[in-house]
């Protein structure tokens, strides 16, 4: 208690508040990672400890909340930078039609439930909007952390989130102008016009202005960093002038800079800022929880959480299934989007909205957002176990629905292969070409649908899927396989492979990949026949090439041509 009193006696400056916030968040994060738990709940718990429900150690909560909005802005800026719209072309219909349909159906269900629970008409409309949208910030972070952005369900989720963000702009614009005399159709028309104007500005700047400015700025790393931030803030200001959220401006800024050759450098420089402000965002979320629990509130919250975690994912699952995607992809897409959006917090902060909802509803929305975001981290962490639990029911649903599933594999019943290659991108592409030159029959397994579609077009034996799932292994003819090679540097997946493959075929040779020496030792102890360490192999390969180049100067020209060919294929 004396320590807490000492903390409370510190000067209530913003610097001290942020210092306390980061220190406590780091300590809680260490404890959380020790127990191998996701970090987002740790940050929200930090907010609970520091906020009104805890020890009330943060004095300037409003300023902290205002600063936390930078977390959303920087995250969406990086999402825009990393977003390649061409990657979404294969999931276009489910994104355009399914995304809109999901928002409409979830909104109608949410509004109906809110009316039944006794919410006022305007609060029921607001609650329908709250339930309809998912958290771009949380989901993108978790997909990125788990390296699932290029998976089929990752592309679907990313596309639906993009569609939701477009629709939430419209919703925010309508809410900001509800108190005016302008009619709803006119408000929608204005929002669409302003949206087109913002995108046109981005397109013009991206094509004619940014290439020249950044070509000069890239000569100095500090200037490149400042130019990137300036571009972000300029688009944020333009978005604000056009009656959009500054976070939408940040996202559009990222899109406008996505084609620059300096994109990777910019992402590397902005990511530390994103991590810092995103931490503040989640802590601020926990600090805003100031709610008195009662049986009535517990009943309402339980029903709404059921809508978020069960009904909403089920709607997304059914829509995705109707568009022909297999049950695992559809299930993971629904599971990933089962939370409340950070834009819901922006909605309830609008002056008109705050003046027309009760303090209980305000706190309830924050509770729904905080808890659903935290739970999502666990749902995605343990997605395979959850999927295995629901698999029988999903199999029954897929049989009942007379939908023809999209084909994401190529093999005939007579297909024979002696090698299974898991992961064909980059290193896997080189290995595949080498195996083909040796006239080996190869089965490629990859979770990037673009790679699988390309292989199907070439009539190469392939299968889409995550190798760490039972279904994929069961569909492989492991009894006839002599060697299995995985280029995926995931220790967990590699251990799963070694244990399960060796059980099915003791004679099979298993090659796996690791990034670090201690991981390689663990994999060897588990029974791996060979562990690929890219950094070691690259050193050995370069030393061999140097010997050849030093002996024959003409060899370097041929070496350059071959390597340039591989680089072009991988771009």
Which DSSP string corresponds to 30-43? HHHHHTT--SHHHH
Rounded-to-integer distance, Cα 46 and Cα 22, Å: 9
Residue 148 burial class via C-beta count within 10 angstroms: exposed 0-12, middle 13-18, buried 19 and up = buried
Domain that holds residue 252: 2-400
282, 47 Cβ separation under 8 angstroms: yes
Residue 543 lies inside a defined structural domain of this protein = no
Of the residues 375, 400, 425, the one at which a domain ends: 400
My answer on whether 329 and 263 are in the same domain is yes
Residue 373 lies inside a defined structural domain of this protein = yes
My answer on whether 225 and 306 are in the same domain is yes
My answer on whether 381 and 470 are in the same domain is no
My answer on whether 385 and 479 are in the same domain is no
Its pTM stands at 0.77
Rounded-to-integer distance, Cα 246 and Cα 194, Å: 14
CA-closest candidate to residue 129, choices 141, 114, 117: 114
Residue 123 lies inside a defined structural domain of this protein = yes
Beta-carbon neighbour count of residue 495 at 10 Å?
Answer: 18
Residue 550 lies inside a defined structural domain of this protein = no
Q: What is the mean pLDDT of residues 96-117?
A: 93
CATH number at residue 246: 1.20.1530.20
My answer on whether 375 and 423 are in the same domain is no
My answer on whether 185 and 273 are in the same domain is yes
Residue 88 lies inside a defined structural domain of this protein = yes
pLDDT by residue (tens digit) across 133-187? 998 878 888 888 887 887 888 888 988 988 887 788 778 767 766 655 556 677 6
Q: Tell me what pLDDT residue 408 has.
A: 67
Token reading at 494: 């590699």
Rounded-to-integer distance, Cα 486 and Cα 530, Å: 10
Of the residues 351, 373, 400, the one at which a domain ends: 400
My answer on whether 365 and 469 are in the same domain is no
Q: Tell me what pLDDT residue 366 has.
A: 83
pLDDT by residue (tens digit) across 429-468? 888 988 888 888 899 998 888 888 888 888 888 888 877 7
Query: What is the number of domains present in the chain?
Result: 2
My answer on whether 455 and 353 are in the same domain is no
| Residues above pLDDT 70, as percent of the chain | 89
Residue 440 lies inside a defined structural domain of this protein = yes
CATH number at residue 482: 3.40.50.720
Residue 470 lies inside a defined structural domain of this protein = yes
Mean pLDDT of the chain: 84
My answer on whether 197 and 235 are in the same domain is yes
Of the residues 341, 367, 400, the one at which a domain ends: 400
pLDDT by residue (tens digit) across 145-158? 887 887 888 888 98
CA 569 to chain centre: 26
My answer on whether 486 and 345 are in the same domain is no
157, 335 Cβ separation under 8 angstroms: no
Mean pLDDT is lowest, of 22-26, 256-260, 531-535, 557-561, for 557-561
Residue 568 lies inside a defined structural domain of this protein = no
My answer on whether 250 and 271 are in the same domain is yes
My answer on whether 341 and 414 are in the same domain is no
């Amino acid at each position: 208690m004396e320590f807490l009193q000492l903390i409370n006696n510190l000067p209530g400056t913003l610097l001290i508040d942020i210092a306390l916030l980061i220190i406590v968040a780091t300590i809680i994060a260490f404890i959380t990672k020790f127990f191998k738990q996701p970090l987002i709940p740790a940050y929200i718990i930090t907010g609970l400890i520091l906020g009104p429900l805890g020890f009330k150690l943060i004095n300037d909560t409003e300023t902290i909340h205002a600063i936390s909005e930078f977390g959303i802005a920087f995250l969406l800026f990086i999402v825009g930078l990393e977003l390649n719209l061409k990657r979404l072309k294969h999931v276009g219909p489910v994104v355009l039609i399914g995304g809109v349909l999901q928002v409409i159906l979830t909104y109608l269900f949410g509004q109906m439930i809110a009316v039944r629970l006794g919410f006022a008409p305007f609060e029921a409309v607001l609650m329908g909007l709250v339930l309809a949208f998912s958290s771009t910030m949380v989901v993108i972070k978790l997909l990125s952390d788990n390296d699932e952005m290029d998976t089929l369900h990752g592309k679907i989720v990313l596309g639906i989130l993009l569609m939701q963000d477009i629709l939430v702009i419209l919703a925010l614009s309508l809410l900001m102008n509800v108190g005016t005399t302008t009619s709803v159709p006119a408000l929608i028309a204005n929002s669409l016009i302003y949206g087109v104007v913002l995108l046109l500005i981005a397109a013009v700047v991206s094509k004619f202005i940014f290439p020249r400015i950044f070509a000069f700025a890239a000569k100095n790393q500090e200037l490149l960093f400042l130019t990137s931030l300036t571009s972000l803030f300029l688009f944020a200001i333009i978005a604000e002038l056009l009656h959009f959220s500054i976070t939408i401006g940040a996202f559009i800024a990222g899109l406008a800079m996505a084609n620059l050759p300096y994109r990777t450098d910019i992402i590397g420089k902005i990511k530390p800022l994103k991590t810092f402000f995103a931490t503040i965002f989640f802590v601020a979320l926990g600090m805003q929880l100031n709610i008195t629990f009662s049986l009535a509130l517990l009943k309402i919250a339980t029903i709404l959480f059921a809508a978020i975690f069960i009904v909403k994912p089920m709607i997304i699952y059914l829509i995705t299934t109707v568009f022909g995607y297999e049950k695992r992809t559809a299930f993971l897409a629904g599971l990933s989007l089962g939370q409340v959006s950070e834009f819901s917090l922006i909605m309830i902060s609008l002056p008109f909205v705050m003046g027309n909802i009760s303090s209980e509803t305000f706190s309830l929305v924050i509770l729904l957002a905080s808890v659903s975001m935290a739970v999502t981290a666990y749902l995605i962490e343990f997605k395979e176990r959850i999927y295995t639990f629901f698999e029988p029911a999903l199999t029954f649903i897929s049989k009942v629905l007379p939908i023809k599933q999209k084909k994401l594999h190529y093999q005939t019943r007579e297909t024979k292969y002696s090698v299974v290659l898991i992961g064909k991108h980059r290193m896997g592409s080189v290995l595949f070409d080498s195996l083909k030159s040796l006239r080996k029959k190869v089965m490629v397994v990859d979770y990037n649908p673009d790679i699988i579609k390309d292989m199907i077009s070439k009539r190469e034996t392939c299968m889409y899927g995550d190798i760490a799932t039972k279904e994929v292994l069961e569909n492989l003819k492991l009894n006839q396989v002599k060697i299995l090679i995985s280029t995926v540097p995931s220790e967990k997946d590699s251990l799963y492979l070694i244990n399960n493959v060796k059980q099915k075929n003791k004679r099979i040779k298993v090659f796996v990949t690791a990034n670090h020496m201690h991981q390689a030792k663990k994999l060897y102890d588990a029974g791996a026949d060979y562990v690929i360490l890219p950094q070691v192999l690259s050193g050995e390969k370069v030393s061999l090439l140097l010997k050849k180049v030093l002996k024959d100067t003409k060899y370097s020209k041929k070496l350059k041509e071959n390597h340039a060919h591989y680089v072009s294929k991988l771009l």
